[in-house]
Amino acid sequence: MERDTHFVLGVYDDEDVLLHAVEEVRASGVKIDEVYSPYPVHGLEHVLGYKRSRLPIAAFLFGMLGTSLALTMQFYMMRFDWPMIIGGKDYAAFPDFIPVTFEMTVLLAAFGMVGVFMISSNLKPWAQPRIFDVRSTDDKHIMAIDIANNSAMDLAKIEAILKSSGATEVNKKSFD
Amino acid sequence: MQVTSSVREPLVTGGKTYHDVTHDVSRQVEGKPSLSWFLAFLTAAGVLALGSIALIATLWEGIGMWGLNKTVGWAWDITNFVWWVGIGHAGTLISAVLLLFRQKWRTSINRAAEAMTIFAVICAAQFPIIHMGRPWLGAYWALPLPNTFGSLWVNFNSPLLWDVFAISTYFSVSLVFWYIGLIPDFATIRDRATGLRKTIYGALSFGWDGAAKTWMRYESVSLILAGLATPLVLSVHTIVSFDFATSVIPGWHTTIFPPYFVAGAIFSGFAMVLTLMIVTRKVFKLEDYITIGHIELMNIVIIITGSIVGIAYITEFFIAWYSGVEAEQYAFINRATGPYWWAYWSMMTCNVISPQLFWVKKIRTSIVATFALSIVVNIGMWFERFVIIVTSLHRDYLPSSWAMFYPTWADVGVYLFTFGLFFTLFFLFAKFFPVINMAEVKAVLKSSSEKVSK
């Protein structure tokens, strides 16, 4: 085998075949590096054994930050820094502060969560992704297997496992 | 294993494969712009340029260029503002509310509807900003910034200030939601392209590679953003309605305003989505993705929201009588029979009567009828805001100051400016961005196409 081959790729046409293939390949002891799909395949994260994303927690914490910042700002400005009677209301007119508080909660939750998502998934305009197969953003699901992580297994055997799991093609790919 | 349902109509017709979806949507991004696109774009840009004259005149001379007077201090400007914001609501409703309700048909229209939302909100924002008179100082009036008054802050008791926060949050969250959805599709175009286009769409795609882990996070982000955008979209028009409802002007001082404005917003927004989508599907040959089924479902939303709006009009009238407040009663009688009766009855005809035609299946599945009625609805919704704003103001408490409102060329010109802006942005979007969310359509394709579900 060529020395500089680092990845074996299984190419799948169908999402249901893919889901079963991931289970089979993992059951046979091959470690899958990642699966690349043109669209979100439901259940793929379960068969790959990924833990549930913690992004909702990030959204909640950022939302709480927005709520507290908004309330602090409004009470400070309206009650302490420059108290003024407006429309005969209390200086600290709590019900009037709710709309701005709500908006700032949503704003910070959304931007905070998206920011965390961008950072954790390494999404940035200058990012140079490793493209295993350009068809993975069109109509094919690509299962990438890093040979270095599967040194115990023979390359021919991995290829045979991929073929028998329903891959329409088995390719090799290496990056510098 | 998924199967094609024998009961439900497929979401995408024409037996499309995954590659067909990529090809059909990327086609017009990659190809040379057609002559019809050029003509449409130049027309929009021309209207934008023409309207800019009125905009510059207004900024140069001040808002005295408009037809406002001492009695009618708000007219076309705020009418146009509420109208554009309302149109924006459909995009978020389709992308967020229908996502939470698992309405899969939204996948082929959500991209364009969200784009429409963003552009409509940009147009809406022009009016309050211009109406400040000196917009270059506007940041001090609209944002809590320290200033030379040491600091006299903005008034957090005012619904006008709530509006600043609501509209800017709505705009930025919608923009982020839209862009997150665009990233995978930009990656698809990047992987089909070479040269300069590959560099540009490569940067726009943020290095997306479609990894299962990223998709998992993407799904999580979409769901949470939808959960945040749903109350947000309801809050935005609620707060817009507070601009009126918290005042003590007869005709404005009504607790029914928030739900009534939100229903009206969705009503006009869906009408604008239909106007745009009927043209887009034809020009870009996307009839298999935006099917008659989609048009029919959107028309059903129009019947529902149109009926809610109709009930709201009647309720307002009833409550004005029931309240026993003479000024309130007069305001409503004056709406229907006073000097602005024609505006009131245009509103009634366009918003309450004409959408009821959609009860007939033949009409709601007819493209020509839908297109015509979608425009009628938007005319009606413009009149609704005009009726609420101008007829409530023009006869105030002192009969000696009763007045009429007559728009000047600058009023018309600034309105035209926003039309030019909206369509210029929309045509640029339609040419350079994928108008249909390819990734999400592919995700629902299997249950709806006989070719991929074999």
Nearest CA distance, B62 vs chain A (angstrom) = 29
Quickly tell me which residue has 């008054």 as its tokens. Answer: B149
Cis ω for the linkage preceding A164 (within 30 of 0): no
The amino acid sitting at B92 is T
- Range from A114-128, A161-175, B380-394 carrying the lowest mean pLDDT: A161-175
pLDDT tier for residue B447 given thresholds of 50, 70 and 90:
low
Judged by CB atoms closer than 8 Å, whether chains meet at B206 and A125 is answered as yes
How many other C-beta atoms can be found within 10 angstroms of the C-beta atom of residue B67? 17
pLDDT at B8 over 80: no
What pLDDT is attached to residue A16? 85
What pLDDT is attached to residue B5? 54
pLDDT at B314 over 80: yes
Give the helix/strand (H/E) hosting B159.
Answer: helix B159-192
pLDDT tens-digit series, residues B33-65: 888 888 999 999 999 999 999 999 999 999 899
How many other C-beta atoms can be found within 10 angstroms of the C-beta atom of residue B287? 13
Best CA proximity match to B121, nearest among B97, B90, B143: B90
- Prediction pTM value: 0.91
Percent of chain A with pLDDT over 90: 26
Angle (deg, nearest 10), helices B212-245 and B76-92: 150
Give the helix/strand (H/E) hosting A11.
Answer: strand A7-12
Select the residue of B212, B217, B440 nearest A120 (Cβ to Cβ): B217
Contact (CB, 8 A) for A8 and A154: no
Nearest CA distance, A142 vs chain B (angstrom) = 9
Separation CA B243–CA B164 (nearest Å): 11
- Range from A120-124, B69-73, B284-288 carrying the lowest mean pLDDT: B284-288
What pLDDT is attached to residue B195? 86
Give the helix/strand (H/E) hosting B280.
Answer: helix B257-283
pLDDT tens-digit series, residues B76-112: 999 999 999 999 988 888 888 888 888 888 888 888 8
- Range from A62-66, B24-28, B409-413 carrying the lowest mean pLDDT: B24-28
Residue B413 gets the label, from left (phi > 0), alpha (psi -120 to 50) or beta, of alpha
What pLDDT is attached to residue B405? 92
- Range from A89-93, B298-302, B367-371, B381-385 carrying the lowest mean pLDDT: A89-93
Interior CA angle at A55 toward A49 and A58, to 5°?
Answer: 145
Q: DSSP for A67-116?
A: HHHHHHHHHIIIIIIS----TT--SS-HHHHHHHHHHHHHHHHHHHHHHH
pLDDT at B452 over 80: no
Nearest CA distance, B164 vs chain A (angstrom) = 9
Region B297-305: what's the mean pLDDT? 91
Judged by CB atoms closer than 8 Å, whether chains meet at A40 and B439 is answered as yes
pLDDT at B7 over 70: no
Select the residue of B162, B176, B212 nearest A34 (Cβ to Cβ): B212
What pLDDT is attached to residue B345? 93
What pLDDT is attached to residue B224? 92
pLDDT tier for residue B3 given thresholds of 50, 70 and 90:
very low
pLDDT tens-digit series, residues B195-230: 888 889 989 999 898 888 899 999 999 999 999 999
User: Best of A100, A128, A134 to disrupt the B interface by mutation (most B CBs within 10 Å)?
Assistant: A100
Region B380-397: what's the mean pLDDT? 91
The interface predicted TM-score of the complex, written ipTM, equals 0.91
| Mean pLDDT of all residues belonging to chain B | 89
What pLDDT is attached to residue B217? 92
Select the residue of B1, B159, B221 nearest A117 (Cβ to Cβ): B221
pLDDT tens-digit series, residues B126-171: 999 999 888 888 888 888 888 776 678 888 999 999 999 999 999 9
What pLDDT is attached to residue B309? 92
A15 Cβ contact list (under 8 Å, min separation 6): A37, A41, A44, A141, B446
What pLDDT is attached to residue B423? 94
pLDDT tens-digit series, residues A1-35: 445 568 888 888 888 888 888 888 888 888 888 89
pLDDT at B176 over 50: yes
pLDDT tier for residue B451 given thresholds of 50, 70 and 90:
low
Interior CA angle at B403 toward B402 and B404, to 5°?
Answer: 145
Judged by CB atoms closer than 8 Å, whether chains meet at B225 and A110 is answered as yes
Nearest CA distance, A137 vs chain B (angstrom) = 5
Give the helix/strand (H/E) hosting A169.
Answer: strand A169-173
Alpha helices in B324-366 (DSSP H): 326-337, 341-347, 361-364
B33 Cβ contact list (under 8 Å, min separation 6): B41, B431
pLDDT tens-digit series, residues B223-271: 999 999 999 999 999 999 999 999 888 889 888 999 999 999 999 999 9
Judged by CB atoms closer than 8 Å, whether chains meet at B157 and A111 is answered as no
What pLDDT is attached to residue B23? 86
Question: Which residues in chain B have their CB less than 8 angstroms from residue A53's CB?
Answer: 216-217, 220
